Amino acid sequence: MHIHIDYNSGEPIIHQVVGQIKLMVVSGRFSPGSKLPSIRGFSKDLKINPTTVTRIYKELEHQGVIVLRHGQGAFIAESQNKPGKDEAARTIRPEAESLLVEGLRRGLSEEEIIEVLKQEYKKIKAVKE
């Protein structure tokens, strides 16, 4: 598993790693039931504290991305807790608003922001195929 941590980013390491693992799940790099590295092994690979990996795994479990099995490890959840479309839209609305505000603040038009989203969507789907 290739995870990149940007230590110069203002984003906490936990959020960076959680986001990258979620991307790997939606892009198909991880399939349901796939086993993740042990906490100790993952912390060694990423050169971060095992406590940080524990927090990463707990956050992924809280979000329904993984299942932690005592004595066995961490596994990609069989179902990704897919809510109904109305609930999913409600959940992502704050991030969408933040993205729009930032794009508009930087001088992008509505069409340009939509194009950026389409390009990113295509990149994620291309990994899956």
pLDDT at 38 over 60: yes
Residues 18, 56: contact at Cβ < 8 Å?
yes
Distances (CA, A) of 84 to 6, 61, 89: 34, 20, 9
Distance, CA of 109 to CA of 103 (rounded, Å)? 8
The stretch 19-26 carries a mean pLDDT of: 92
pLDDT of residue 82: 63
Write out pLDDT tens, residues 49-75: 999 999 999 999 999 999 999 999 999
Q: Which residues contact 62 (CB under 8 A, 6 or more apart)?
A: none
| Conformation bin of residue 40: beta by default, left when phi > 0, alpha when psi is -120 to 50 | alpha
Looking at the whole model, is its pTM more than 0.75? Answer: no
Domain 13-76 has CATH 1.20.1630.10: no
pLDDT exceeds 80 at position 83 = no
Angle at 3 between CA 41 and CA 116, to 5 degrees: 160
**pLDDT value, residue 59:** 96
Mean pLDDT score, 33-60: 95
Confidence of residue 2 (pLDDT cuts 50, 70, 90): confident
Domain positions in the chain are 13-76, 85-128
